[in-house]
């Protein structure tokens, strides 16, 4: 049952599943609750009950489990049921003298317990409390289902269809692959899927595969043992272990090197990881959601991504749509970001001018929502009364940011600067040296522009420029080192001067 239909569920009789091997107690429970609008299903073994619960988990409101059962006992049944749905209230039935075991059950996630023999009034009261908790949870989940994506991504039909799609897959354990451009809300969508899943009360652990150096990636994902390498001063759990019982979000998964792809595939298949320096594997249970801003199938065809891992993480593919293709959401988010910026800066700006609206609709927004929010905040800071222009007097933004003539003029200025600084000092003009310096400056300008458009995202820059991530990372480090060196040179005192 989809969460969007929770209102219908709230009006129907509560569904209670009872696991109790003494059938005489079944009639006692029925008689105690005869005045309530509740439907009971009774099972004498945990194995049969678990099979029924797995088939109709969304339709259940409450489960009662006897602590002492033939075969699988109540503690094992509690673990299995809690793993299916951590939000489903479970009440334990216990005889007197089992206090230590009951405390253990409560730590495992049991909602309450009832000691046998019980008073009918006490049984009904405890069941009502548990059912009220379930009702409130369903109401909150229904509100999330209808409003969460609308408030964060927009009210368009595209977003509504996206919400309907993920509501179908969220209650399952299927691995989801979210594809879309950078800044289109892939992590928002992943968190939304987690909030509607059976693991919603477990952790949501996000990993940016493109932001972790290859040498540290295995330790970050799988953990490590003390002394396994220099700097490993204590045992540390990896992201897979930290996500146990919840959801592991592997963002920018296309940046994983091939050797790590093989190890991750094995971990997902075996449901266990081997920490660095460990001899014994560690079991984990986590729902996998992955995301990429490139065409992963094309990467597979080029041999850059494993086909078997692709099929493992893309059991249910979902695609996000760029903001430029969702006009309703574009205007909605502009209004929302303007309100938030006004609250942040303590300003009162009523609206956008006609010129500003034309800019919003004409600009392609390559950085999607991240870029949109940044531009709106900047415009809100420098305007008063209303937003007259999003981009200011610097230069009009369009699909081509500069004209060919202007580009040629900048190249001439750049060449003159290089020649003026180097060539005439020695009375010669080394063309190769000038060309090398010009190419370096052009490369750096291109990289700076792409990084600015991608909000500093090196993974996105490497994709746009069709460069390896390590190359982009090295260029950024080289630029930073040059800036630091230049700063140090300007800080050094000249001959005859005293340093501070």
State residue 393's pLDDT score: 56
CA distances from 303 to 212, 292, 300, 309, 464 (A): 22, 16, 5, 12, 19
Residue, of 55 and 88, whose pLDDT is higher: 88
pLDDT digits (tens, 9 = 90+) for 62-106: 999 998 898 898 888 998 888 787 788 999 998 866 677 887 888
Fold adopted by 154-321: Rossmann fold (3.40.50)
At 367-388, the pLDDT tens digits run: 999 999 999 999 999 988 889 9
Q: What is the pLDDT of residues 4-43, one digit of tens each?
A: 344 444 457 889 999 998 889 999 999 999 999 899 999 9
Point out which residues pair with 237 in neighbouring strands.
223
For residue 427, what pLDDT is reported? Answer: 54
Exposed, middle or buried: residue 66 (CB in 10 Å: 0-12, 13-18, 19+)? buried
* Mean pLDDT calculated for residue range 469-473: 73
Q: What pLDDT score does 430 carry?
A: 64
Residues 78, 65 contacting (CB under 8 angstroms): yes
Peptide bond into 117 cis (omega under 30): yes
Q: Is the peptide bond before 266 cis (omega within 30 degrees of 0)?
A: no
Range 3-140 has CATH code 3.40.50.2300: yes
Q: Mean pLDDT throughout 103-123?
A: 86
Residue at token pair 């000249």: 494
Task: Please state, in angstroms and rounded to a whole number, the distance separating the CA atoms of residues 351 and 380.
Answer: 10
pLDDT value, residue 37? 87
Amino acid 496: pLDDT:
47
Query: Distances in Å between the alpha carbon of 52 and those of 12, 80, 291, 366?
Result: 19, 13, 34, 49
Percent pLDDT > 90 in the chain is 41
State the average pLDDT for the chain.
82
What pLDDT does residue 379 have?
A: 92
Who's near 226: CB < 8 A, 6+ residues apart? 232, 233, 234, 235, 277
Do 40 and 16 contact (CB within 8 A), yes or no? yes
Q: For residue 259, give Cα distances in angstroms to 217, 264, 305, 359, 473.
A: 11, 9, 10, 46, 20
Angle at which helix 469-491 crosses helix 458-465, to 10 degrees, equals: 120
The tens digit of pLDDT for each residue in 163-207 reads 989 989 999 999 999 999 999 999 999 999 998 888 887 889 999
Residue 310 has pLDDT above 70, yes or no: yes
Local confidence band at 1 (pLDDT 50, 70, 90 cut-offs):
very low
Nearest alpha-carbon partner for 397 in 358, 441, 427, 426? 358
Q: What is the chain's Cα-based Rg?
A: 30
Q: What is the mean pLDDT of residues 256-274?
A: 93
Extents of the domains making up the chain = 3-140, 154-321, 331-387, 404-491
The per-residue pLDDT for 210 is 82
Q: Which residues contact 426 (CB under 8 A, 6 or more apart)?
A: none
Beta-bridged to residue 38, according to DSSP, are 14
Q: Where are the alpha helices (DSSP H) in 228-284?
A: 239-242, 258-270
The answer to whether 17 touches 49, Cβ cutoff 8 Å, is yes
Tokens (6 digits) for 107: 């730590």
Q: What are phi and psi of 67, to 5 degrees?
A: -70, -40
- With cut-offs at 50, 70 and 90, classify the pLDDT of residue 392: low
Least confident of 20-34, 125-139, 402-416: 402-416
Beta-sheet pairing, 272-273 with 282-283: antiparallel
* pLDDT exceeds cutoff 70 at 244: yes
Distance CA(187)–CA(457), nearest Å, equals 15
Q: Which residue has the higher pLDDT, 434 or 230?
A: 230
Average pLDDT over residues 413-422: 53
- What are the tens digits of pLDDT across the range 313-326? 999 999 999 999 99
Q: How far apart are CA 103 and CA 106, in angstroms?
A: 5
What does the alpha-carbon distance between residue 299 and residue 307 come to, in Å, rounded to a whole number?
A: 9
Q: Is 237 left (phi over 0), alpha (psi -120 to 50) or beta?
A: beta
Q: What is the CATH number of domain 331-387?
A: 1.10.8.60
Give pLDDT, residue 332.
Answer: 92
* Two domains, one topology: 3-140 and 331-387: no
pLDDT at residue number 484: 56
């Amino acid at each position: 049952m989809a969460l969007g239909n929770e209102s219908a569920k709230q009006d129907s009789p509560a569904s209670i599943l009872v696991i109790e091997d003494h059938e005489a107690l079944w009639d006692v429970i029925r008689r105690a609750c005869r005045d309530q609008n509740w439907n009971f299903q009774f099972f004498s073994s945990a194995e049969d009950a678990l099979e029924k619960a797995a088939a109709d988990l969304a339709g259940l409101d409450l489960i009662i489990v006897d602590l002492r059962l033939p075969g699988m006992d109540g503690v094992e049944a509690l673990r299995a049921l809690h793993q299916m749905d951590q939000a489903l209230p479970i009440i334990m039935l216990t005889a007197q003298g089992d206090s230590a075991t009951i405390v253990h059950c409560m730590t495992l996630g049991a909602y309450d317990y009832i000691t046998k023999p019980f008073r009918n009034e006490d049984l009904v009261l405890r069941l009502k409390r548990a059912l009220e908790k379930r009702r409130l949870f369903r109401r909150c989940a229904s509100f999330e289902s209808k409003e969460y994506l609308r408030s964060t991504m927009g009210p368009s039909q595209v977003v509504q269809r996206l919400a309907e799609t993920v509501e179908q897959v969220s209650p399952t354990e299927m691995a989801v692959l979210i594809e879309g451009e950078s800044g289109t809300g892939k992590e928002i969508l992943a968190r939304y899927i987690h909030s509607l899943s059976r693991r919603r009360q477990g952790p949501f652990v996000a990993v940016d595969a493109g932001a972790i150096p290859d040498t540290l990636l295995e330790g970050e994902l799988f953990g490590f043992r003390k002394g396994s390498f220099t700097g490993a001063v204590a045992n540390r759990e990896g992201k897979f272990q930290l996500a146990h019982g919840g959801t592991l979000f592997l963002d920018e998964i296309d940046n994983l090197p091939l050797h790590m792809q093989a190890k991750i595939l094995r971990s997902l298949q075996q449901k266990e990881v081997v920490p660095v320096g460990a001899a014994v594997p560690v079991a984990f249970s986590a729902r996998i959601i992955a995301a990429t801003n490139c065409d992963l199938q094309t990467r597979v065809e080029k041999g850059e991504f494993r086909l078997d891992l692709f099929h493992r993480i893309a059991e249910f593919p979902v695609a996000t749509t760029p903001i430029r293709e969702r006009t309703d959401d574009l205007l909605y988010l502009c209004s929302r970001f303007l309100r938030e910026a006004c609250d942040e800066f303590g300003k009162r700006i009523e609206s956008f001018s006609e010129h500003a609206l034309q800019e919003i609709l004409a600009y392609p927004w390559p950085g999607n929502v991240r870029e949109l929010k940044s531009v709106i905040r900047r415009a809100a800071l420098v305007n008063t009364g209303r937003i007259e222009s999003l981009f200011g007097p610097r230069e009009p933004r369009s699909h081509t940011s500069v004209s060919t003539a202007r580009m040629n003029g900048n190249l001439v200025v750049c060449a003159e600067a290089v020649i003026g600084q180097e060539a005439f000092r020695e009375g010669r003009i080394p063309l190769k040296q000038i060309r090398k310096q010009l190419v370096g400056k052009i490369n750096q300008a291109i990289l700076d522009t792409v990084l600015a458009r991608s909000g500093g995202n090196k993974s996105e820059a490497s994709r746009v420029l069709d460069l390896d991530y390590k190359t982009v990372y090295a260029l950024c480090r080289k630029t930073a080192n040059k800036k630091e060196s230049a700063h140090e040179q300007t800080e050094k005192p000249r001959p005859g001067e005293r340093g501070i």
